Chains A and B, each alone.
Chain A
C-alpha cells in the first residue's frame, strides 16, 4: 500500500507538469459548460412557451434534472470516451519506451502495487475533473430547485464510469510501448462497451441478456436517472476489477518475454 502511494504521488505530480492534463481538463470543463448553458437555454425557452400557453400541468412535469443535468451527464460520458484514453495512454507505454520500466520492475515492489499506484493517480485525476464539473448543478441551485439526490446519483454514475474507463486505459497502455496504440485501442474498447448490446435486439434470449448486462449505457442511464442500484454498482466495480487484473497480468507477463 505504501509503495502504491509513492507511485501514485509521483504519477499525480507528473500529470500536472504535462500540458496534456491541462488540455484534457480544460476541454472537459469547456464542453461541459457549453452543454450546460445550451441545455439551460433550451429549457428556459420551453418554459416560456408552456407559460405562454398557460398549461400548468405540463409546467409541473418540466424539471431541471431531466432537461438539463441528465442530458449533460450523458454528453459528458461520451466526452470521457475520448479524453480518458488521452490521460492513461502514457502510464505504462511511456515507461517502456524510455526505459524507466527497468527501474520500476527491479525495485523491491510488487507488480500489483505498481498497477494500484498508477490507477489511484489516474482515477484521482478524473475524479478531480468531475468534481469541478459539479459546479454546474450547484449553479442551478441558485436559479431553481433541481433534485439534489438525482443529480448526486448521476454524478456518482459518471464517476464510476470514468474510473472504469481509467482501468481499461491502464490495461491497453500496459500491452504496448506506443502511446498512440494504447489510446486508440482504449478508445475502441470503450466504444465497444457502448454498442455491444446492439446485436441483442436480434439474438437469442440468454445471449441477449449477457450482452445487455455487459453494455454500459444501461447501467449508466439508470444511475443518471437517479436510481442507485447495487446491480449497477457491481457492474462498474467488476469492470474496474477485471481491467486492473488484466493489467497486472500483462505487467507480470512482460517479465516473461
Chain B
C-alpha cells in the first residue's frame, strides 16, 4: 500500500505540488492522471525517495520514505520518466548490476535475471549494448530493472511516453501482466490508458489533486474524459472563485 499524505513541494519559490494526498490500495493499479507540468514527476520522485517533499509524508507499506528510507526503498521498483540505462553496458550486465544494488542475494540472481528477461521479452537483446536499443526496448529494459527484485510496490512515470501505437499496446499489456499482486502507481497524461489498465484514478491539475475515485465507482455512462474535463474545469472555477473572494476581502479591507 502507498499512502501519500499532504505532499507539498516548492522549487525555490515555485509551488510544484501542494497538499497532494491519495492512497494506492494493495494489489491495485492506480492511474495518476494529469496534463504536462501538473506535478506528476515531482510527486513520483518524492514517493520513491529520490527527493524529499517540502512538507508531508509518504508511507510505503507503513514505512516512512524519509525516516525509514532504506527499508521503504527496498520495497519499491521505479521506472523514471527516462529509463535509467547506462549507455555502454550490456542489457544482461546492467540488469545484474541493478539486481545486486537492489539487494537480490547471489543465489537468486540467475533466476531473477531470467525471469525479468523473459517477462519483458528481452531474450533477443540481452547481449546488446543498452545505448544501441530502440526506444521500445529501452522502455522494456526500464521495466525489467524496476521489477528485477520482485518489489511489492511499483512506481512508473509515464511508461508509454514516446512509444509508437504498437509499442504502447505491448507495454500496456506487459504492465497488466507484471502488476499481479503488486501495488502499482503509474502516471500518464493519456486518458484511455487509465480506463484500460487502472483500478483507480487520481487526477492532478496545477499541482493538486482534483479527483480520487475507483474506476468502478465513476458515474454510470460518463466517460473518463467527461470526468476529467469536469474536474479540471471545476478546479479552474474554484480557483477563480477563491481569487475573487480574496480580491473582495482586499477591497473590503481598503474600504
Contacts and interface: CB of A to CB of B under 8 A. Distances in A.
Contact of B84 (A6, A7, A100): A100
Contacts of B74: 108
A256 B49 CA distance: 11
A51 to B, nearest CB: 56
A14 B88 CA distance: 7
Nearest to A109: B101
Nearest to A106: B48
Contacts of A102: 45, 48, 50, 78, 80, 84
Dominant secondary structure of chain B at its interface with chain A: loop
A107 B73 CA distance: 6
A98 B85 CA distance: 8
Contacts of A110: 70
Contact of B82 (A6, A14, A99, A108): A99
Interface in B42-101: 45, 48-52, 70-71, 73-74, 76, 78, 80-89, 93, 97-98, 100-101
Contacts of A3: 101
Contacts of B71: 108
Contact of B86 (A6, A14, A107, A109): A14
A239 B49 CA distance: 31
A103 B80 contact: yes
A39 to B, nearest CB: 38
Select the residue from B88, B93, B100 with max chain A CB neighbours within 10 A: B100
Interface in A220-257: 255-257
B192 interface: no
Interface residues of A, number: 24
A108 B103 contact: yes
Interface in A171-218: none
A18 interface: yes
Contacts of B86: 10, 14, 98, 100
Select the residue from B74, B78, B84, B102 with max chain A CB neighbours within 10 A: B84
29 contacts: A6-B101, A7-B101, A10-B86, A14-B86, A14-B89, A17-B88, A18-B88, A98-B85, A98-B87, A99-B83, A100-B84, A101-B84, A102-B45, A102-B78, A102-B80, A103-B78, A103-B80, A103-B98, A103-B101, A104-B101, A106-B48, A106-B50, A106-B78, A107-B73, A108-B71, A108-B73, A108-B74, A108-B103, A110-B70
